Amino acid sequence: MSNKSILFTGGGTAGHVIVNLALIPVFQQEGWEIDYIGSKDGIEKKLIEQVEGVTYHPISTGKLRRYMSIENVKDPFKVLKGTLQAWKIIGKKKPAVIFSKGGFVSVPVVMAAKLRRTPAVIHESDYTPGLANKLSIPFTKKVLATFSETMQFLPERKAEYVGAVIRQELFQGDKDTGLALCGFDRSKPVLLVMGGSGGAQKINESIRESLPILLKSFQVIHICGEGKVDITVEQTGYKQFEYVQKELKDLLAATDFVVSRAGSNAIFEFLALRIPMLLIPLSRSASRGDQIVNANAFQEKRFARMLEEENLTSETLVQELHELKEYGEMMKDRMQTYKSEESLEQVVNIIKQVKK
């Protein structure tokens, strides 16, 4: 077994992959052998297969539902199958350590790691632990928290507060390149709208309904989700993308304000880049409410404004964005108090400390 072999896991949404994408280059630079276990058709497969030098291993996964469904009967068998597959992969690759970012695909991997006596570290981005990580914690050596407040929900002997792990490439964007990608200039501030890796229909609709007013004050970049571009509303000052990856650093460099869901990884990236944000978290009816808690925490610290989806209309959106513009400089001043530079190094060091 190589002392410099690591296996990553995590998926289901881009948020469950972003931290892994931040860590992988660090281990690559140090000559580690890198493998990744994910689902057969999740977004993690699409994102990781673009990274050179990483071997991707798909396994069977079940979804961790909080509601009644016939699929709940089938999913334990899928998880069992995935655990067996992960057990075989870990036995073959013999990693020194496993790092899990969460999501339902990670549970069988962390369980298999325990069976193989391979130390695992998991990372919790949200204010309160998600179900996948709650199930995984008993099988791990360490659980790392992005919010300091999360420590109260974690076992003291395993938990460690590390802050947010930010992709270093995001600090390397070029404003002029970002503007050119959209056909924009410097005459008006740029508003970036993103609804998560899957898009957000209500946000998309509200933005498009508000364009006649918004374009008087902003140039708008709209990352609207796969298959959700609407060519009927194309116009000067408004640029749509389904999804961006390599271009993101330049688009963020061009961005003055952002409208976003309140997934932890994304909002901490905006915070690190000092971009004032309006957060529209997933509603409790569509989630466990973690994004509402995240957004509330940021609003209380005056890093962001918050608009709940139940109150989202084109009128409330325009009103909140004018408020965001007015208080943007104050938010940037508050953001100066947050330092993210040491988190990445801290996580890397913890991973190295727990490895076999």
Residue 300 CA to residue 126 CA, distance in Å, equals 16
My answer on whether 109 and 184 are in the same domain is no
My answer on whether 125 and 269 are in the same domain is no
Say what the pLDDT of residue 1 is.
45
My answer on whether 269 and 307 are in the same domain is yes
> Total domain count for the chain?
2
For the stretch 261-291, pLDDT in tens is: 999 999 999 999 999 999 999 887 666 788 9
pLDDT < 70 regions, the chain:
1-2, 63-74, 196-199, 285-287, 340-341
Is the Cβ–Cβ distance between 190 and 253 less than 8 Å?
A: no
How far, in Å, are 53, 78, 179, 198, 275 from residue 243 at the CA level?
Answer: 23, 30, 17, 9, 20
Query: Could you tell me the residue range of the domain that residue 228 belongs to?
Result: 169-335
My answer on whether 160 and 97 are in the same domain is yes
- pTM equals 0.86
For the stretch 88-127, pLDDT in tens is: 999 999 999 999 999 999 999 999 999 999 999 999 999 9
At 131, which helix (H) or strand (E)?
Answer: helix 131-136
My answer on whether 259 and 150 are in the same domain is no
Beta bridge partners of 100: 9, 122
Per-residue tokens: 149: 């407040």
- The CATH code of the domain that includes 238 is 3.40.50.2000
My answer on whether 186 and 204 are in the same domain is yes
Q: What is the number of other CB atoms lying within 10 angstroms of the CB of residue 2?
A: 12
Q: Report helix, strand or coil for 69.
A: coil
My answer on whether 306 and 179 are in the same domain is yes
Say what the pLDDT of residue 326 is.
95
My answer on whether 70 and 183 are in the same domain is no
